[in-house]
Structure 1
Amino acid sequence: MAQNAKISALSDELIHSIIGFDAATNRQAYRHAKEIASRGLRGHQYGRTNQFDITSNLTGLDEKFRVKNRDDLADALQARIQKLQGLTSRFTPDYLSLLLQLSDRPLENTRVEALELLQPPSPPPLLTWDEILEDDPYSDEDIWKDIDYAVDSSGDERTSQKRGKAKSSPPTSVDEDKTYDPKDCIVPPEPDLVQILEAAQYWSVVRDNDANTDITELQAVRETLSMLAGLPTSLYHLDTQQNHIRINPRYALSHAMSATVDDLLSRFVAIAKDIYRLRQWTKRSSTLPLVQSFEAAVRTRLVAFDCALARLQQQYLTPSPPIVVSLLRLHTDIQFFSTPLRRLAQLVMSIEPEILLNPFSHLEALFETITLAQLTLETTVFQYLSSVFFDCLQTYLKPIRKWMEEGELGANDDTFFVFQSDSRSDANSLWHDRYVLRRDAHNDLRSPSFLQPAAKKIFNTGKSIVFLKELGFQGVGTKNNHPEPRLTHATVCGISDEVPLSPFPELFNIAFDNWIQSKYSQASTVLRRHLIENSGLMRTLDILEMVYLGKNGAVFEDFANALFERMDGGRRGWNDRYVLTELTRGIFGTVMVNSDAEKIVTRTWKVKNKNQSVEPLATVSLDFALSWPIQNIIQRSSSVVYQQVSSFLLQTYRVKYLLQRTRPSRTADFRDQTAQLSHKLRHRLTWFADTLRSYLTETAIFFSTQDMIAAMEKAEDIDNMAHVHLTYIARLQERAILSTDVNLIHKAIVEILDLGVQFAQAVAGKESSNAIRGATDKRISTRQRIVAPIPVVAELSEVETDSDGERIGLPSVPESIEQQSPMASFQSIDAEFARLLHFVTAGLRSVGRVGAEPMWEQLAERLEWEGKRDR
């Protein structure tokens, strides 16, 4: 029963404190609320605190303190536990559990000497008679006289009279009467006070419509101060619908000319109009935090202005010392401290139409006005608006701080210039696709103009935090031992009363850059170190250079030769991607670890075979699997250029491979014109292939990669790293003559390489014909294989064909060459080579002169050297 009564009392107190129902006025609602509260209290039975766990925790703390060499702290804890054991209470485990949960790293934060402050004060010493006598010694001799205890008699009248003349003791607090008369609290009014108040109310004096009411200058001053404070007055009429203030012509100053007074009062009206509009604007509440902070800053300035008006009113109401009442002096004072507020009011009126569309337009307007005030040396306006600007800026810095420290964006925050475009994007495109910058219809960044130079760094810092979270580093990069730099007028512009010499935009950019750098440097440094050391960025770039760009020429040539042997084998499955993948991994596995070699995959496409071209090599591509952090730097678009350069290198190796297998035998007759022309073409085509391969590997690839590695080591974040790699890819494509600007020159070079294939086919056809004629003379079977310099030369009946009737394998003799004699074929190839070589060298020189790559002119010189010598 006691428990139920206690629950009932608690329910009553809870209902009264939260809902405020009165049982007498609303019994039904009160009874319903009490029923709900009682049901909730009865439905929850929580277990008591386990006292054994508490004892175990305290024992563990004692052991921890002693292990950490804090015996003093352990002894203090043990002493208090022993003292607590003498105090028996069933709530002792609960008290100790609460204290343990409230503790915050007691080993580091507890000082034993601070426990002395918890000691109760020592009780005062007992008062002794010696101390009493020392302060108040016995000095009255009558105290030792005997007291007359006899009954009073007539004989004692003299003594009684003598005692009656003695002074009475003052009344004590016990005898004091606390009742008093209320009339004693009433101050009698002055008899003339009512008449004085009625005389001061000049507006209540009834006059004729044509007559003016004379007022004193003090009355005009009071009316002006009330009007400036936004209060209704008689001297000034306020039109709330038109937001207009005008002077009431019925009142005049008898001691001054009406024109002079009207001009002076109109100046007060001009000041009051701006301030009144500002007051009306602050009454319109907004839902945007940026606008709300601006409204709060304006209200604060209006309150300061009203306080200044109140101080002026106090000077005229209770002047101390006496002052001269003057409207001119009042105008000077009002104009002094209202000028910054009027400038703020004009700024608000100018941005009011667009502040809802552009919520940070007030920041831009304040920034421009502050800069202009500094240029015109308006010190008061500069300092006043600067304080407003930095007060409003703190609200805009909150989402920036949250983004840069935690990598998080506010929900439905359209005022921040970063937003999440695709929350479900893959991690390999996190840096480039998941978050984007918010832009308007004109593709301008939707942020204050003065923050746009630092927007990219803010954007990258937040993405670095998100990137680190994806890597599993929670909270890394956000901890900074140094306090955050403050952005206030004092820290940016200094505490001097004068305008700073340096321009305000420059001062702000320096301060804001320091604020950004305090959050940017640590996150970017941690992420950069992880990408280079843990993710192996530089090692990956080295592998890509080896696989695609032929960094190790011997290994790349082994891969090319193995590929060419399968192509020339004349079999249908030469381009099987599974076989080629194992072949590629085995070759490149000799110079790299197995884990990296296993990431290489060879892909092929089916195309109709072009027997006289090197283009089928483009159907073979190598893919290297990159980890998702590296894919944010080496983007997917880069693989296309890597494949193009690799195919171009394979094409040069292909021509050299074929030309090496068309070397003349030792018994060849070089006095024959056909043999001489064949030897000349072999030399020129071999020289062209070697020169082109040397240019690609030793000039274009080497210098581009060297510049990229140097820039990559200096990059600060992923954005810079990705930009460095994209620049490297673009430069590599251009220097390797693979860009669209020099597409015609590249086609001409490929045609020259195709001439090498045609030359090898022509030589193969010529030697095949000679071998067949010799076999006929010797009566050998025509189905016997001919041993030719190129291993693909075989009898026509033994060469496999595809479904279209095309022969498989390279090289095969085309109809145009088969129909010509060897001499005619060599002559046509020589003429075409000379024409294409001239076109290539002239094209390289022309594009080199218009500011393209200077190494193209060097390549033209090397290619033209043989032509000059030939001529």
Structure 2
Amino acid sequence: MAYQAELAAQCDELVTAVTNIPENHKHRNIYREFVLRSLREHSFLRTNQFEVADRLKGLEERFRVVGRDALADAFRQRLDALEPHWNHTSPDVLHFILELADQPAQKSKLTDLDLLKEPEEEPQPTLTWREIAREDGWKHERDIWRINDWAPDSSDEEEIDVRSVASAESVTSASSVDERIQRTALDLAFKPQGEKELQQLADSLAWRYEHRAEGENGSLEKTTISTLLLVREVLFMLGGLETTMFDAKCNPSMGYQLAGVSSEAYQALVTSFAECGRKLTPLRVFAKGREQSPLLQVFQDSVQKALRTFDMDLATIQGRFVAIKEDVVVSPVGILTELRPKLKPLYALADIVRQLQEERNPHAFRYLELLYDAVGMAQLQGHNATYELLGSIFLDCFQVYLKPIRMWMEEGRLLPGDRTFFVSESPTKLPLPQIWQSQFNLLRTPEGNLHAPRFLKPAISRIFNAGKSIVVLKHMKQDAATSKYRATVEPKMDFEAVCSGDVEFAPFSELFGAAFQAWIQSKHHTAAATLRELLYSSYGLSRGLDTLEKVYLMSDGASSTAFTSAIFRHLDNLSSSWKDRFTLTEIAQEAFSSSVDGYRIFAQVDPRALTHSAIASRSSVRLSLPLIRVGCRLNWPVQIVVPEEGIRAYQTIFTFLLQIRRAVYLLQHAVRDFHPTSLDARGQMATYYLLRTKLLWFCNVILTYLTTLVLAPQTARLRSDLRDAADVDDMITAHSEFTRRIINESCLGVKLQPIRECILDILDLAIKVQDVQRVEMVRLTEEEQEVQRLSVMSSPYKSPSKKKRGILGLRSPRGKKADEEDEDGDGDIGGDSVRGRNSSSSAKPHHVLLKEMLGDFERYLRFVAGGLRGVARASKDEAATRWDLLAEMLETGIKE
């Protein structure tokens, strides 16, 4: 049974250490029974002690075999020292150590054994009077070492020089120590006047040492005390001193009885006082501790000041009973009533300390949150004394938390190793454009909450941005701006300034929020305004946005047409030079040279475009055009406002505009100046022109919608938002919102992905119509030429010259004469190459293909218009009105 009891006790300790569950918890017995059952019913065998002994012996022999005799001797010495302490668990411990061993013969070092020896304590130097005299300057004050002899036979001039005392050893002799220890209170009393007072004092304390007799029922009789003694003990207990009637935990002793009061009344009275002391105990304990964090140190100092003020009140009450100047009524109930208003603020402070001690691993600023909540609750309940005390302590402690905030907002620096502040710096230096986004981060808890007091969360972003603005200004070498910023006078954040008397009815949260916002504004406004002004004046933010609009959004129609036409010509000529980044860059710089600095623009093609053939690249807007990348070199501060995500959004709009312009380019450069003679050919031409007109109308509607209803209004709104932005973060947000809006309103978002694909189908349909028509024109031209040739051969007249044949209008589908195409070597582009690309459709007649394409266009158009209308009605997005307007514009081209 002793083994079972020992096992149960050890299981209790194991459960407590692992789960940290209190003894009165309902689930503790479940864990305890599970551990007991597991230990009793386990099927593991005990360690073989003989095997362990053999392995130890073999390990010693191995040390000697490999030449580690010194290690073997040390090993044997410790095994011999273990023999007297051997018990039933020794084999298990040694087996565990042997299993953990990793090549001991090679990796063991004898020098490691020295670390197990406890260092010898160095004797402390003896303090002598000589050293004290030297440090305090007594050595140079000669008068100190002279003692006047006031004996009756001595004169005033006779003095004894005792400088030799300073040279003597400072260790007091044993006889003097004994004399000092044997001295009693009677030796210190004034004689003969003090003996009576000393005896009175001893008589007043005799109640502590009186022998308590047994009563009739066998219990000890209670000692009767006076009301003044009870008040004295209570005041000492409330002051944190040791007393006879109360123990260290402020529990009253029931061995005393107040004269003239029933036991029940006395017990209720001392219990009330004991409850007051118990509530103050956490404050007393916390005030005596040693805190390492500066935040907790200032809170501890505030608690000490509050207790010191309360102790002064207790001393004032004690003074009324010690130095009596007028008649005083000794009433414990009166004392309790007098102290309650002064104890209530301390109770609230003790509750905060208790909550702080009960939480596991609280943050250093956790008590600030508790104080903030307690101040608001005290104000709400109308407890003015508690409100003033807690409010003063909160704002005094908050001054310490303001120090890293002030350093961050004024100098852009962080205290090394500070884990209480909510800003952290990346350990690696990032490129300048990424300073604002990635160099500094807000610390978060594992739950995802900000590592900052709750009441600061509304101002966290402004604090964070102000410090980042200073960092960016330093990288701009704008030291004058930062020094001017540091000279700003900040508002006060004490209780008198924050909670002044004229706003006593305003909630504390609003008072603190307004004061703290004013404090932040004094440090945030100048840095943000300076940085915003520098972005516009010195680093060309407006010019950078103009460049992005002209290049990506194609706001300059002439430059954009020159750029896109050059690319389209290379595509139509089946030339691979458009894939060369040097050629593309040259085309872009030449096209935009009139409005943009050429060195700021570059262009390239994604390597995936190299896998497509020239014919495939020309036949669809989906293959090669999305792989053309255009870039603008912006100043690094501008890149903070326009990050990589924004450039990708610009590139998406640029690709969509390029695809639309591709279809318009092909439709506008269609086959002209050809008049077929047959009626069937003329009917087919009418169908072709109808389809071409509809496609041109569709492309122009999309372009008009994008330029006039999306891009132009949104760019104007962006300029206004950027100028109204308070700081760089607001500017970044304004630009990101701008890119989001133009992507959604341009039908390029995720919600409108099917509609976008249908629009691209219509653009591909334009290319397909032109290819089919070009093939048909080549065929009709060849037939006309063959008929003319046969008629000329059967005619007695000579064949017409080349010049006359050109006048007859026999031109290629691209507008050149047939002979000119032969001379240039590109005549197959309009004939055989196109015919080869449309070989799959050559089985159907031309007019059938045109009618099918016209039907496809009508179907696509209905899908786009209907889809836009449906999404606009079902969505609450801001772009829904734009989608509805575009649907209305497209519905005008749908046949009823």
> Considering the TM-score relative to the shorter chain, is it more than 0.5?
yes
Q: 1:236 aligns with which of 242, 246, 255?
A: 246
1:179 deviates by 9.7
- Indicate the SS of the match to 2:706: helix
Q: Does 1:577 align with 2:578?
A: no
1:325–1:790 distance in 2 versus 1, CA, 3 Å: same
Matches of 1:477 and 1:809 in 2, distance apart? 67
The 5 Å alignment of 1:285-684 reads: 285-354=290-359, 356-474=361-479, 476-477=481-482, 479-480=484-485, 482-495=488-501, 500-592=504-596, 596-605=597-606, 606-609=610-613, 610=616, 611-615=618-622, 616-665=624-673, 667-668=675-676, 672-684=682-694
1:455–1:478 distance in 2 versus 1, CA, 3 Å: farther
Structure 1 letter corresponding to 2:852? S
Match of 1:698 in 2: 708
Structure 2 letter corresponding to 1:863? L
**Partner deviation per Cα, 1:407-450 (whole Å, 9 max, x = no partner):** 11111211111111343111111101111111112211111111
- Indicate the SS of the match to 1:476: helix
RCO greater where, 1 or 2, for CA within 8 Å and sep 6 or more?
Answer: 1
**Partner deviation per Cα, 1:1-56 (whole Å, 9 max, x = no partner):** xxxxxxxxxxxxxxxxxx99989999xxxxxxxxxxxxxxxxxxxxxxxxxxxxxx
1:669–1:776 distance in 2 versus 1, CA, 3 Å: closer
1:612–1:284 distance in 2 versus 1, CA, 3 Å: same
1:692 deviates by 1.2
Question: Unaligned regions of 5+ residues in structure 1, if any?
Answer: 1-18, 27-174, 239-243
- Indicate the SS of the match to 2:224: strand
Matches of 1:487 and 1:842 in 2, distance apart? 61
**Residues 567 and 809 of structure 1 are in contact (CA less than 8 Å); yes or no, is this contact kept in structure 2?**
no
1:448–1:819 distance in 2 versus 1, CA, 3 Å: same
Q: Does 1:827 align with 2:851?
A: yes
1:211 deviates by 2.7
**Partner deviation per Cα, 1:191-222 (whole Å, 9 max, x = no partner):** 52232112111213334252322221111111
Match of 2:250 in 1: 245
Matches of 2:201 and 2:833 in 1, distance apart? 120
Question: Unaligned regions of 5+ residues in structure 2, if any?
Answer: 1-124, 133-153, 160-188, 215-219, 791-798, 800-804
More off after superposition, 470-479 vs 709-718: 470-479
**Residues 555 and 587 of structure 1 are in contact (CA less than 8 Å); yes or no, is this contact kept in structure 2?**
yes
**Partner deviation per Cα, 1:633-666 (whole Å, 9 max, x = no partner):** 1010112221121121122221121112224426
1:206–1:486 distance in 2 versus 1, CA, 3 Å: same
Matches of 1:711 and 1:638 in 2, distance apart? 16
The 5 Å alignment of 1:757-772 reads: 757-772=767-782
1:236 deviates by 1.8
Matches of 1:289 and 1:299 in 2, distance apart? 15
**Partner deviation per Cα, 1:37-84 (whole Å, 9 max, x = no partner):** xxxxxxxxxxxxxxxxxxxxxxxxxxxxxxxxxxxxxxxxxxxxxxxx
1:336 deviates by 2.2
**Residues 421 and 452 of structure 2 are in contact (CA less than 8 Å); yes or no, is this contact kept in structure 1?**
yes
**Residues 295 and 365 of structure 2 are in contact (CA less than 8 Å); yes or no, is this contact kept in structure 1?**
yes
**Residues 670 and 814 of structure 2 are in contact (CA less than 8 Å); yes or no, is this contact kept in structure 1?**
yes
The 5 Å alignment of 1:200-211 reads: 200-201=204-205, 202-209=207-214, 210-211=220-221
Matches of 1:669 and 1:677 in 2, distance apart? 16
Structure 1 letter corresponding to 2:621? V
Matches of 1:298 and 1:811 in 2, distance apart? 94
**Partner deviation per Cα, 1:781-829 (whole Å, 9 max, x = no partner):** 9xx9984232699789967999xxxx99989742233333211221111
Task: Quote the RMSD (CA, aligned, Å).
Answer: 3.1
Match of 2:862 in 1: 838
- Indicate the SS of the match to 1:352: helix
Matches of 1:23 and 1:377 in 2, distance apart? 60
**Partner deviation per Cα, 1:353-408 (whole Å, 9 max, x = no partner):** 32733221111111111111111111111111111111111111111111111111
**Residues 568 and 791 of structure 1 are in contact (CA less than 8 Å); yes or no, is this contact kept in structure 2?**
no
Match of 1:90 in 2: none
Identity of aligned residues (%): 30
- Indicate the SS of the match to 2:726: coil
More off after superposition, 518-527 vs 195-204: 195-204
**Residues 572 and 808 of structure 1 are in contact (CA less than 8 Å); yes or no, is this contact kept in structure 2?**
no
Q: 2:751 aligns with which of 723, 728, 741?
A: 741
Structure 1 letter corresponding to 2:840? S
Match of 1:104 in 2: none
**Residues 775 and 834 of structure 2 are in contact (CA less than 8 Å); yes or no, is this contact kept in structure 1?**
no
1:808–1:233 distance in 2 versus 1, CA, 3 Å: farther
1:24–1:405 distance in 2 versus 1, CA, 3 Å: closer
1:548 deviates by 1.0
Matches of 2:311 and 2:677 in 1, distance apart? 114
Matches of 1:581 and 1:491 in 2, distance apart? 63
Matches of 1:508 and 1:564 in 2, distance apart? 64
**Residues 419 and 437 of structure 1 are in contact (CA less than 8 Å); yes or no, is this contact kept in structure 2?**
yes
1:674–1:418 distance in 2 versus 1, CA, 3 Å: same
Q: 1:815 aligns with which of 829, 836, 839?
A: 839
Structure 2 letter corresponding to 1:375? L
Matches of 1:390 and 1:518 in 2, distance apart? 18
Matches of 1:571 and 1:746 in 2, distance apart? 29
**Residues 671 and 774 of structure 2 are in contact (CA less than 8 Å); yes or no, is this contact kept in structure 1?**
no
**Residues 571 and 809 of structure 1 are in contact (CA less than 8 Å); yes or no, is this contact kept in structure 2?**
no
- Indicate the SS of the match to 2:629: strand
Matches of 2:240 and 2:311 in 1, distance apart? 9
1:281 deviates by 2.5
- Indicate the SS of the match to 2:619: coil
**Partner deviation per Cα, 1:696-731 (whole Å, 9 max, x = no partner):** 112111111111111111011110111000000011
Structure 2 letter corresponding to 1:338? L
Q: List structure 1 segments (4+ residues) > 6 angstroms apart after TM superposition.
A: 19-26, 791-802, 807-812
Match of 1:79 in 2: none
1:319 deviates by 1.9
Q: Does 1:857 align with 2:862?
A: no
1:602–1:190 distance in 2 versus 1, CA, 3 Å: closer
TM, length-normalised to structure 2? 0.72
The 5 Å alignment of 1:33-52 reads: none
The 5 Å alignment of 1:237-276 reads: 237-238=247-248, 244-276=249-281
